[in-house]
Amino acid sequence: MKDAVNPPLPVLVSPVSVTAGAVLHSADFIRHRLRAGGRDSIVLYAGVQINGTPHLGTNVMQSAAFLLAQAARERFGVAARIRFGALDNAPYETRACPETGSLYERSYRQALGGRRIEELVARHYGGLFDELSAATGVGYEVETYTSQQSGHAFREEFLASLGLMDTLRWVLAPSSGTVPVNFPCPQCGWSQKFGERTELLSAGDQEARFAAFCLDHGKYLVDVTPATDAFIGLTTLHRNLVKERVAARDDALPVIVKGADWAPGCRLLDEAFLCYPGTLPPPRLFTPVVLCDSGAKLSKSLIRQGAADLPAATEPWMLDASVWEGTVGEYARMLLGLVSRMLSEPRHFERGYTTREVARLMGRRGPGPSGGAG
């Protein structure tokens, strides 16, 4: 009778992976770095975009981070915790110069302010992270990009990257060699997206001076030292390089957790690391990506713009976690169950899953009505 009420979940079938026979669990990819460095603790780093409600793919990556940290603790006997970087530098609004077409943008941080950013983080991730932490016994912390870039270590690494930019620019931007930096206008918070009118005037180990331009307030100067508070806007690869260089200063082994769609970009990050004498890039763990029927990554923005179709068997909560029918605790348990199955073998973890396949694995026959947030 019980089996009729709770039938077994559908079987998960994956092709043989390159690492089949060599790796029993995806956490084992970091074993050699733990042994080589003699570390007794690890910190897993993952990013959180603060630009709207999360979708399933984002929450799969976050759940995987907790489960990977738990597995590392149990398999290697090390302390493990997670540090989520809340990217409050995502663009909130954009405008174009009427004469040149050059784009200017204002980030969530500049548009909303610190208190509203904290509210967004708490609303979209606080309850879920607390549930995942309680279930796995893994602690976590959330730090905004604004806070990260204001630290002495970040600014020191940023200044160091300027000294290596003749080499780094062809790694971080191999097609153009242009790695822009932008600084929000101190009066209005707008900055030039691609930094066409941002000029490096001088640079040294402890200080750099830039000239930038605002559509409304004209030219302004920015001085960057380890102690100044100017907001530093960097390209995605440049920002991640600096953040990972800062993470490498920690006594714990830094482990970078990203969706598998990041793998091509990490090739460039790893090469950028090697531009620094005597350094190695951090170990990386890539989590499954949730896909559309076409095989492309599930993208709310493309669907909203009409550039991609809503995939079949995509339930409302897969695109917007806030309409999950039930409590946050039930959502967390669903995620942990789903991602635990993915982690049961590396071949299951080293692949993508369409929303249709996720629904099948959950034993759900199709989309149902959306409900309120848990």
Q: Which of 9-18, 162-171, 351-360 has the lowest mean pLDDT?
A: 9-18
User: Rounded to the nearest 10 degrees, what angle do helices 165-172 and 236-247 cross at?
Assistant: 120
Q: Looking at the domain assignment, is residue 188 inside a domain?
A: no
Q: Burial level of 109, CB count in 10 A (0-12/13-18/19+)? A: buried
What pLDDT is stored for residue 40 in this prediction?
93
pLDDT at 269: 97
Most distant CA atoms of the chain, gap in Å = 76
In a domain, 131, yes or no: yes
SS3 344: coil
Q: Select from 84, 104, 87 the least CA-distant residue to 52.
A: 87
- Predicted local confidence at residue 370, as pLDDT: 37
Which own/partner contact pairs does 326-331 have at CB distance under 8 Å and 24+ positions apart? 326/371, 326/374, 327/374, 328/127, 328/128, 328/131, 328/374, 329/131, 329/374, 330/374, 331/59, 331/128, 331/131, 331/374
- Quick check: helix, strand or coil at residue 173? coil
In a domain, 12, yes or no: yes
Cβ within 8 Å of residue 56, ≥6 positions away: 290, 298, 317, 318, 319, 321, 355, 358
> Do the bridges between strand 353-354 and strand 290-291 make them parallel or antiparallel, or are there none, so unpaired?
parallel
- Residue corresponding to tokens 């600014």: 155
Q: How many domains does the chain have?
A: 1
The structure tokens listed for 201 are 């005037």
List, as one string, the DSSP characters of 234-265.
Answer: E-HHHHHHHHHHHHTTSSSEEEEEEEGGGHHH
Structure tokens at 324: 């999950």
Does residue 23 register a pLDDT over 60? Answer: yes
- With left for phi above 0 and alpha for psi between -120 and 50, is residue 331 left, alpha or beta? alpha
Q: Could you tell me the pTM of the whole model?
A: 0.92
Q: Using CB atoms within 10 A of its CB, is residue 209 exposed (0-12), middle (13-18) or buried (19+)?
A: middle
Kindly tell me if the per-residue pLDDT of 6 is higher than 70. no
Could you tell me the pLDDT band of residue 368, with boundaries at 50, 70 and 90? very low
Q: Which CATH number belongs to the domain containing residue 270 in this structure?
A: 3.40.50.620
Q: Is residue 194 part of a domain?
A: no
Distance, CA of 71 to CA of 44 (rounded, Å): 12
What is the predicted pLDDT for the residue at 30? 95
- Is the separation of the CB atoms in 110 and 92 below 8 Å? yes
Alpha-carbon distance of 225 to 212, in angstroms, equals: 17
Task: Establish if 351 belongs to a structural domain.
Answer: yes
pLDDT on residue 305: 64
Question: Would you state the pLDDT for residue 312?
Answer: 72
**Segment (H or E) for 2:** helix 2-5
- Of 193, 221, 218, the C-alpha closest to 207 is 221
Please name the helix (run of DSSP H) or strand (run of DSSP E) that holds residue 271, with its range, or none: helix 263-273
In contact, 136 and 64? CB cutoff 8 Å: no
Let me know if residue 15 belongs to a domain. Answer: yes
- Model confidence over 33-59: pLDDT tens digits? 999 988 999 999 999 888 888 999 999
Q: Judge whether 291 lies within some domain.
A: yes
225 within some domain? no
pLDDT classification of 372: cutoffs 50, 70, 90: very low
According to the model, what pLDDT value does residue 227 have?
A: 92
Burial of 196 (0-12, 13-18, 19+ CB in 10 A): middle
User: In 3-state terms, what secondary structure has residue 358?
Assistant: helix
pLDDT for position 3:
52
pLDDT single digits (tens) 137-151: 999 999 999 999 999
For residue 131, the enclosing domain spans 2-97+108-174+236-361
